[in-house]
Structures are given as C-alpha cells and as structure tokens.
A and B are shown apart, each in its own frame.
Chain A
Amino acid sequence: MKQITEILDSLESGDAAAAKDLLPLVYDELRRLAAARLHQERPDHSLQATALVHEAWMRLAGDQQGSDRQWNSRGHFFGAAAEAMRRILIDHARAAKAEKRGGGHVRIELDTWNHPASSQPEKLIALNEALEKLQQKDPVKAELVKLKFFAGLTIKESAAALNISTATAERYWAYARAWLQTEMQ
C-alpha cells in the first residue's frame, strides 16, 4: 500500500514513467484484498469488483482525505484498477475457453468477482480485441470504456478520473460503444 502511495506521489510530481510500476501493485492489491475478503466474510457475502476497487481506494486515500491531490491520484489509481480488472477478466475468459476445448482444468481463484460479462468469454475476448484497436485510434475513449465497463465507474466518476466534463464523457461513451459494437460484429 505504501508503495502505491509513493508511486501516486511521483505521478503527481510529473514522473510519468512511474505509471508502469503502478499497475502490478494495484493488481496485486486487488487480488490480495479479494482473497482476504473471501476468507473473512460469511460465504453468502457478496464480493463485487466495483466495491473492491472502491474499497482499495478508500484504504489508500483514507489518510489523506480532503487533500486536493487526491483527485488526480484517484484518476491514476482507478485507471490502473480498471486495467487490472480487464486483465483478470480476460485471463479468466481465455481460461474458460481453454477449459471448454478440453485444455485442462484451470481454476480461477477470482471466479467470485463475477462481472456480469464473465459468463460470455467469447464476447469478452472479442471486445478486448476491439478495445485494443480503439486504444491505438483514440486512447482517451478506450480508457473511458475500461473505467466504465471493467471497473464499474459511472460516467460521472469516469469523467472525473479522466479529467473531462461529464457531457464530453457521455458523448465519448456513445461513440465508443457504437464503434466497438460494429467492430465486434
């Protein structure tokens, strides 16, 4: 956790290269948190990707409530978290596909994250491919899709994380959604 804060601080002070170190840490943090929750909680307790991401953030930002920098850090953090979620889900989807073809028994510990899209691995992989194309063409829109679709942020939260207006985010989303859809067909 400490390290994440340090990286966020570096990012704040303009060290863009620090971003590449953020992702693996956030990724690990989410998995750690998920595993801890699974063991602690009653079996009927929900474990939800979005809640997890928010909880990880609260733990991180808890001691710097109200600081101005928090909002920028938040954008970075959620970006990394969305990317982590994307990877987890895609790994999951690929494993599920492999299992279907008889490629051995792969247990995914994070089954319980249960993103509604996780039941359709083919579509998820197709979306991922389309999203990579969009990333080349228009990185901000691709980022928006990740925040909204994988991390479960609202349009408003996504807009704040990307530092754009809500109206712009809405317009971007409409286009990206239609674009990805045609690309996936």
Chain B
Amino acid sequence: MKSEETIFAEAIALPRAQRGSFIEDVCEADDELRRRIEKLVAAHDEQDSFLDADPRETVDAAIKVDAGQDIGPYRLLQKLGEGGFGVVFMAEQRQPVRRQVALKVIKPGMDSKAVVARFEAERQALAMMDHPNIARVFDGGAIAGGERPYFVMELVKGVPITEFCDANALSTTERLELFVSVCNAVHHAHQKGVIHRDIKPTNVMVTLHDGRPVVKVIDFGVAKALHQRLTEKTLFTQYGMMVGTPQYMSPEQAEISGLDVDTRSDVYSLAVLLYELMTGTTPLQAESLREAGYRELQRLIREEEPVKPSKRLSSSGQKLTVLAKHRSISPDRLPRQVQGDLDWIVMKGLEKDRRRRYDSASDLATDIRRALANEPVHAGPPSSVYRAKKFLVRHRRGVTSAAVLTILIAALASAFWFTHRQTLAARRQDETRLASAVDQANNTLTALTAASPADDRWTSAAYLASQVQLLATESNLDQASLGEADAFLRHYQSVEQDRQFAMAMENLLIARGTQRDLPSWMTMEEELRRILRERGYDVGRETAAQVGLRMRDDPSHIQLADALELWIAARQHAADLGGPELTESQRQSWTDAMSIADPDPLRVAIRNVIYSPGPPDESELEEVVRQSNLAKKCPRKLSWLAESYRSLGNVKRSEEVQRYALMQHPADLMLNFEYATTLMNEKRYDHAIRYYMRCTSLRPNVPGIWRNLADAFIANGETDAAEDARKIAKDLEQTSPDSNNTSLAKS
C-alpha cells in the first residue's frame, strides 16, 4: 500500500476530473484513508490559504503614512478610510493653489514605477474630463523613498450610491434618475477616451448639494494605472480590492489576458450597479463567488446567465419586505415594477457578448429615460404587441379598449396634419438647430482657449464646425441666421489657423531640440518662412520694420513674435554652421521688429541675454522678472526665460523657471520636452523618462520624442524599452518619410 503522501502527490498531479476515481481505486476499502486524502486534496485546491502569505509581498507595509505628514505639496490632515487598496486621506494642497483634496495611498506590493508611468500616460486624458458628476483627478506619483504610488483627487464627501438610495428610501424612479446621471458621467469620460474599469457602488458616491443628491464618480484612471495582467494570483490576493471586483467585472475583464477592455466593459459594470439598485443584490452573488475557486469564478463570470431582476426580487422571500421598504413601495408591487422594461434594460447591459450590450453608457441612459417616460425601450422584444401596450400605457387616461380604434384613426389624421405643419415648422426648426450648433461650437472653442494644439477636443470642435457649415448650406434659413453662421465659421477658421500655427511651432521646437546639423537648420528656417507666409507675413520681401508693425496689430502677435524669434535663431544657427550669412545689422533690425511686435519688457530682457554681443547681465533680467507677472506669461516665453538663465550659467534658476512653467502649463508639450532634456543632462534618467513619456502621451506621433525617450531608456539601462521606443520612432518616420524635417508639421 502506498503512503498517504505518495497518493496525495499522485492525485494532485492528475486533472481534477480524474482524481475522484483515482483516489477510490487506490484506497480500495480503506475509507479512513480515502477521507484523509480527499481532505488533503481539497485543502490543496484551496487558493487563498493562510499559508500562502508571503513575507516578501507586503514589503513596504511598514512605511508609515499618517496624518500630519507631507507628501509632495500635500499635507495629510485626517484619515478618511481604509480599504483593500490602501488608505485615503483628506489632505491640504498648498501649492500652486490652496485647497483640500483626497489623497489615496496605494498599498504596497505594486510596481509603483509602472503604476506612475501608466498614470502619467493617461494624465492628459484625465485632465480633459470636466463633468459635474466626475471627481477630478489632480495628480499622481510615488512617495519619496518608498514604493507606494498615490493619487490626488477631488475631495468627495459622500456615501456609496446603494447606501444613499436605501438610507433615503428612494423609489425605483428616483433611483433610475440618479443612475441616469451616473451613465452620463461615464459617457463623458468615454468620449474623452477614459475607461473607468472599476465601476462599483463605492466608486459612485452621492453627496447632497443644496439638499439635492448629486452623483460623483470617483477613481477614474486609478484602476487603469493599477492594472496588471489578471492572473490566478492577482485575482486572489487582491480579491475584492483592486483590479476589478468580481461581482462587477465584465466577462472580458475576467479573461486571463484581461487586456482587451473597452467602454462596453463599463457598460456591463453599470448594468450590474443598476441590477443592485433594483434588487439589492448583484447578479452573481458575492457569497457564491467567494466560495468558487479561480476557474469556477472565471466560468461564472463568463457563462452564468443572471436571473432577471424581477425574478430575483420575487424569489427573495423575506428580504423582499426590507427591499420594498427601502424603495418606498409595497412588497407585492416591487417585482412588478421592475418586470418588463427594466428587466430587459438590465439584461441587455449584462450580455456576456459585448456586441449585444448597449453601445455606450448614453444609450443605456436613453433607454432608461424611455422606460421612465413609458416609451418603447430598445432592449427586449420589439414586437408590435409590446409597442401597442406602451402606447396604451402612455395614453392611459381616457383610453378604453373601445377607444383604441378612435385613437388609430386620430393617429392617421394627425400624420397628415403633421406633414403639413412640418413645412411650416421646418424653417424654425432649422434655425433652432443652427443656433444650438453654433452655441455648442462656441462653447467648445472657448473651452479650448490656451489648450494644447493636439488636444483631442479639437476634433469635436471640427465636427461641430462642419455641422454648422452643413446646416448653413443645406437648410432653410433667414438672413440673420445665415449671418450668425457665417460669423461663427470665420471665427472658427481663424482659431483653427492659430492652432495649425501652434502645432507647426511645436514641431519645429521639437526639431530644434533634436537636430544639430546645417541642413536641418536650413530646413527649419525654410519651414518658418513658410508658416509665417501662411499667416500673411513674408519675411523674404517685407522689411523687418514693416513686418514688426503689422504683427503688432495682429491678435496673435505674441505667437507671431515667437515664430519670428525662432526664425532668427534658426538663421543664426545656420550662419554659425557655415550657412548663409546673417549680418549684424540684419540681426539687429529683426530683433527690433520682434520688440515692436511684442513689446513685453520680459521678451526684450530675454533677448538681450541671448543675443547680447557683450557679457550678459543677469541683474537686468532679474529686475524685469521681478516686475513681471510670470503667471500671465505664455509657455513659450517661460521656456525662453529658462533658456536665458541657462545661458547665464544659472542652472538652478533655470530649473526653477522650468518647474514653475510646468506647474502653470502641465499639458504644454515643449515645456515637458525641455524639462525632460534638462533632466537628461543632469543624468536624472528616471525622471527624464517620465517627462518624455508625458510628451508621447500629449503628442504620440512625433518620432523625435520617441527617439529621445529611447535615449533616456538606454541611459537608464532599460534596453528593451529603448528598443520598443526606437521601433515606434522608426515606424512613424516610415509613415511620413521626410518627417525628420519639414513634414514634422503634418504629424
């Protein structure tokens, strides 16, 4: 007879299905032994055993994070809560603005460098979210000296939506109304390219604002930054804590690869939340998930068809009384209230195959609104009986079955009447539509003031402008409306021209930072001539004074002076490298032209430092800086200022300016790029990588940035990453073969 240990070892080596019969065969009539083995095997299969605690995993648990402590510019005030992921504090930010924020310190055991890098990559998208129902994410980083990532976000004092609804005994209708605003918030984020990935009641808080409940969705960007490949281990060690909570996790998130996640995953999680708001339970119940092993858990999420909400309610026995009480309705009516539309809506959101779910959170919201208005919903069987039933409910008052015929006739008649009226109404309708399109487009443009030229909201601005164009040309409008459309389109054109210009400037500035030889300076000089010519300034034909005077009256005079500045610098560089000569008097007259175009004393002082033939004078610059309000200066001028200090040999001050500028304009490509370059020069490769990565997320298509990133990776000893970055740069260069120089402008 084999020993217990041997039988155990052989049994666990077998596939699960074969173990039972194997154990029975081996143990023959020895029931005692069979029971022992079965127990051992069951214990073996148990995944989160106490014995699996790994002393090396909670390495940094000892890092004390406590009230009173400072993390970067934040002072921790008081602990708000503690969860599986870490600790949340109320904190005070002191710079650049004084405000209270929530600071979330993630528990140890994660690769905080990777977390921070992923956060940095999404920072831009997060910054673009601007919605009253989304808690803003301000910052993220790692605690100095430790391996603990943290996130800083808007302070939300509220309770989870499920708790709020129960505590206030909100009716089903009120719950649905609240839920619609959750959908709208999530949809807004989706339009900005941000997927939440971890929607659950504790991430959907409700606060009272002037006595009215207001939803705040929190933790956008956190789940993605923390995201790691779902493995047996992560799922269990972090069960219910971090990367997805099984009850709310979509089938595609439960896949081992777990990488192919899109907005429809959030739609799924929203549907789970809706299910919970309706029935008080999640479709897959927490208890059954906790008992399931890893494979079983995956199978449940991927395959188990959920019970319809109304059915879950009617089979909830005694609990139904409590559920109904929380919803201010009698127990016998609650299931009926949910039956039908709401069942269908929830089930459509919970489809295992995401193609059969709602395409977007806003589609889900729209269907709920239809249900609330007793209009036909998209989910569910769209049979004619169903539609007729809806119609009857909607017009319940005064409708008897005998009256149905009358209604049908009336409907036919009204159709004729409507067609007639339509022509009359069409004009007014077109005018209203145009007015609202212009309105929306103007709002978007206003929001884009001072935004990066690569900001993705420009796409929506372009779309809206094309809508206005379409309405103006193809519809029936009066003169006033046409005039309004025309004025808007002209405004848009000039804004778009500015954007193109800014984009071209950015590209040239990047090129300036990455190229050093004569031909590239020559190309750059050419390109600058071209973009100035496009703006109506021909530096080849007009005199410097003429150009300067005309620029002074241009609304974009600061940007134009920047271009002029860069053009002179390029000419100077080319001349220094043996290119066409730039005489002293030429240089002088063009720098004078700049002073005319932008008479800001700061620019003059900067220019004196950079171009002064004699030894530069720092005190003069310092004096002007003291008198200027740097907060009001454009990013470019701050760059020049940093460069001036550098050329004066005051590296410390130069860096101060760079950091200040970044604080003022965190999404400015050039500021990030220049700072990264400074960090490279100081051999702070790790930091340089962060900022280059931020640049790649601001403008993913510029090969020069990827090349610099690759160099930084090499310097930091990360050859694999460098190889990847280089490959991206190469691919980008291939798609636009001459992107090294002129066509940078098109990237």
**B-contacting residues of A (Cβ < 8 Å)?**
42-51, 112-117, 120, 123, 127, 145, 149-152, 171, 174-175, 177-182, 184-185
Contact = CB atoms under 8 A, between A and B. Distances in A.
Given A178-B43, A182-B40, A149 B51 contact: yes
Nearest to A151: B55
B9 A175 contact: yes
A178 B64 contact: no
A181 B55 contact: no
25 contacts: A42-B145, A44-B144, A45-B146, A46-B146, A47-B62, A48-B59, A48-B60, A113-B62, A114-B58, A115-B58, A116-B58, A116-B61, A117-B53, A120-B50, A127-B50, A150-B55, A151-B55, A152-B56, A175-B8, A177-B51, A178-B44, A181-B43, A181-B46, A182-B39, A182-B43
Nearest to B66: A43
A158 B165 CA distance: 54
A46 B9 contact: no
A44 B70 CA distance: 11
A164 B56 CA distance: 23
Contacts of A51: 59
A175 B56 contact: no
Contacts of A182: 39-40, 43
B12 interface: yes
Contacts of A149: 51, 53, 55
Given A43-B64, A46-B62, A171-B9, A116 B39 contact: no
Nearest to B237: A116
A115 B51 CA distance: 12
A156 B62 CA distance: 26
B142 to A, nearest CB: 11
A150 B51 CA distance: 10
B103 to A, nearest CB: 15
Nearest to A89: B55
Contact of A152 (B9, B12, B54, B64): B54
Contacts of B30: none
B261 interface: no
B143 A44 contact: yes
B154 to A, nearest CB: 26
A179 B57 contact: no
Interface of B: 5, 8-9, 12, 39-41, 43-44, 46, 49-65, 108, 143-147
Contacts of B56: 48, 50, 152
Contacts of B54: 116, 152
A177 B44 contact: yes
Contacts, number: 94
A174 B49 CA distance: 12
Contacts of A179: 40, 43
4 shortest interchain CB distances as A-B pairs: A152-B55, A181-B43, A178-B43, A116-B53
B76 to A, nearest CB: 12
A123 B53 CA distance: 12
Contact of A174 (B9, B58, B59, B64): B9
A50 B55 contact: yes
Q: Which of A151, A179, A180 has the most CB of B within 10 A?
A: A179
B8 to A, nearest CB: 6
B64 A44 contact: yes
Contacts of B59: 46, 48, 50-51
A45 B63 contact: yes
Contacts of B44: 174, 177-178
B43 A127 contact: no
A149 B50 CA distance: 10
Contacts of B41: 178
Contacts of A46: 59-63, 108, 146-147
A123 B50 contact: yes
Contacts of B61: 46, 114, 116
B36 to A, nearest CB: 8
B53 A115 contact: yes
A45 B147 CA distance: 10
B63 A44 contact: yes
Nearest to B44: A178
Contacts of A42: 145
Contacts of B64: 43-44
Contacts of B46: 181
Contact of A117 (B9, B50, B60, B144): B50
A120 B49 CA distance: 13
B259 to A, nearest CB: 28
B283 to A, nearest CB: 31
A118 to B, nearest CB: 9
A48 B9 contact: no
Contacts of A145: 51
B9 A127 contact: no
B55 A180 contact: no
B111 to A, nearest CB: 15
Q: Which of B12, B44, B64, B146 has the most CB of A within 10 A?
A: B44
B11 to A, nearest CB: 10
A152 B613 CA distance: 67
Contacts of B55: 48-50, 115-116, 149-152
A46 B49 CA distance: 25
Contacts of A114: 58, 61-62
Contacts of B146: 44-46
A117 B61 CA distance: 12
Nearest to B46: A181
A174 B44 CA distance: 7
Nearest to B65: A44
Contacts of B12: 174
Contact of A177 (B49, B57, B147): B49
Contacts of B60: 46, 48
B195 to A, nearest CB: 31
A51 B40 CA distance: 33
B405 to A, nearest CB: 73
A147 to B, nearest CB: 11
Given A44-B64, A152-B54, A178 B145 contact: no
B156 to A, nearest CB: 27
Contacts of B53: 115-117, 149
Contacts of A112: 62
A148 to B, nearest CB: 9
B46 to A, nearest CB: 7
B55 to A, nearest CB: 3
Contact of A44 (B49, B52, B58, B145): B145
A145 B53 CA distance: 12
B62 A181 contact: no
Q: Which of A42, A181, A184 has the most CB of B within 10 A?
A: A181
Contacts of A177: 43-44, 49, 51-52
Q: Which of B40, B55, B60, B143 has the most CB of A within 10 A?
A: B55
A12 to B, nearest CB: 28
A83 to B, nearest CB: 15
Nearest to A138: B5
A180 B46 CA distance: 12
Contacts of A115: 53, 55, 58
A171 B11 CA distance: 12
A127 B55 CA distance: 16
B34 to A, nearest CB: 14
B9 A45 contact: no
Q: Which of A50, A51, A116, A152 has the most CB of B within 10 A?
A: A116
B83 to A, nearest CB: 15
Contact of A180 (B39, B51, B108, B147): B51
A164 to B, nearest CB: 15
